[in-house]
Amino acid sequence: MLSIAISDLIDLALREDIGTGDITSESTIPENVMAKAIILSKDEGIIAGLDIAGEVFHKIDPNIDYKKLISDGDMITKKQEIAIVEGKARSLLTAERTVLNFIQRLSGVATITSRYAKAVSGYKAKIVDTRKTTPGWRALEKYAVRIGGGGNHRFGLYDAVLIKDNHIAVAGSITEAIARAKKQIPHTIKIEVETENLDQVQESIQAKADIIMLDNMTIDMMSKAVKLIDGKAIVEASGGIKLENVASVAETGVDLISIGAITHSAISLDISMDIILR
């Protein structure tokens, strides 16, 4: 069962693409011509979004027969068949681009996440996402991160406190910002503080932050911060982290590594749909 937000997103995507109608399919293909289509990969990676694809097809035509050949989270290779779909040719062609857009984008997010997760597999650190998501796509992109082996950071501004540099500047200090937050929020909500140096780390420890983010620190400074925190808070590393250095970051002993690039810079997988007349 799709959430209302995802169902609305699919509706928006279809309205955006179809508008007042698929004039090409409607003008070239008789209404009752039936067809079969195969969705296949032209890339290697982790597949995601197959159930969303089925929902797109069924919003266009409830009578379409959509069969997944694999499941989200499976590794795919070039020329691998992913799904088979049968129904009216017009309906298949009308749904094609929106279906592929969802699968390609979500598979791209899952794939890059899996690469980061694999790079830190020997350490306790877990790869997590950020709020740097495509507007309207957050629930789906965060789902794709989980499919790729990562975890989710806060979903939005409402489900966790994350005190960043601008909050600190306005509040006057980390200590004051945390004190104010603790007076306002329920005890069930955690408080995280973004720190840029060891003095801020020490202040966050003393103010009893639940999570301390080490933002854009060097590997050496991260190692010192982890020792300073010494289990008194969850430690998150963020900023300037790439596949080339993520293992070194994990080696410092941090608990979480948040990476905006797994959503904002993911490259979509190349996936196509080929029609075969029945």
Question: Cα dihedral sign for 72, 255, 155, 194?
Answer: negative
Question: Catalytic: 11?
Answer: no
Question: Catalytic: 78?
Answer: no
Residue of 22, 129, 192, 194 marked active site: 194
Residue of 59, 97, 180, 182 marked active site: 97
Partner residues linked to 188 by β-bridges: none
Residue of 118, 126, 132, 180 marked active site: 132
Question: Catalytic: 244?
Answer: no
DSSP result, 53-82: HHHHHHHH-TT-EEEESS-TT-EE-TT-EE
Question: Catalytic: 97?
Answer: yes
Residue of 96, 141, 215, 236 marked active site: 215
Residue of 78, 124, 164, 227 marked active site: 164
Question: Catalytic: 36?
Answer: no
Identity of the residue numbered 176: E
Q: Which residues are known catalytic residues?
A: 97, 132, 164, 194, 215
